[in-house]
Amino acid sequence: MNAFCITLIVLSTIIIVYAFFFFVNLIFVYLFLKRLKTHTNALTILLNERFECLKSIINIFNKNSTLNKINSTTLTKYNEIDIVSFKNLTSTECISARQTMSVLKQELYYLFKTNDSFKKNEELLFNFKIIDDIDSQFRILSASYNADVIGYNYWIRFAPYVYIFLFNDVKKRELI
């Protein structure tokens, strides 16, 4: 064999190996995108459930005329929450809504613990138990989401293929 054929075989082998590993990289990126979509849907559902559960607790407090003990700015911010913002977990609206719901939950829980008549209310106990369960599930899912974001960001920035992803305008994802 002459040198030209050997060079051609070596170059074609390198190109085939490069293409193979690029497709493996694409598979990883696709799998991470699929998992991120699943996590986003689950986290959105949990945020909606938390929002509705807080609303039912507020209604219970409202029946007993103790809602005036809650910080009015927090309650106003809660009423202004648009649940559509939960679909984009890294948006400022969603982050602000999550913080508002956390502050409101703490204020409602403090009111619940300091008032003896509420300690016997089964509906309030049930709703606070649900919110605690939702919070623990949210923490677990957000940790899994963040791990998948790190994996996705790694594979789109993998050294031999980073230019292909940059050329196709593939964006890094943000942690929540």
pLDDT tens digits, residue range 72-92?
Answer: 888 888 889 998 999 999 899
pLDDT of residue 72: 80
- Please tell me the pTM assigned to this model: 0.84
How far is residue 122 CA from its own chain's centroid?
31
Q: Where are the domains of the chain?
A: 15-167
Is the pLDDT confidence value at 37 over 70?
yes
pLDDT in tens, 136-166: 999 999 999 999 999 999 988 888 888 888 7
pLDDT band at 38 (very low <50, low <70, confident <90, very high): very high
Distances (CA, A) of 168 to 21, 149, 155, 160, 163: 18, 19, 14, 15, 8
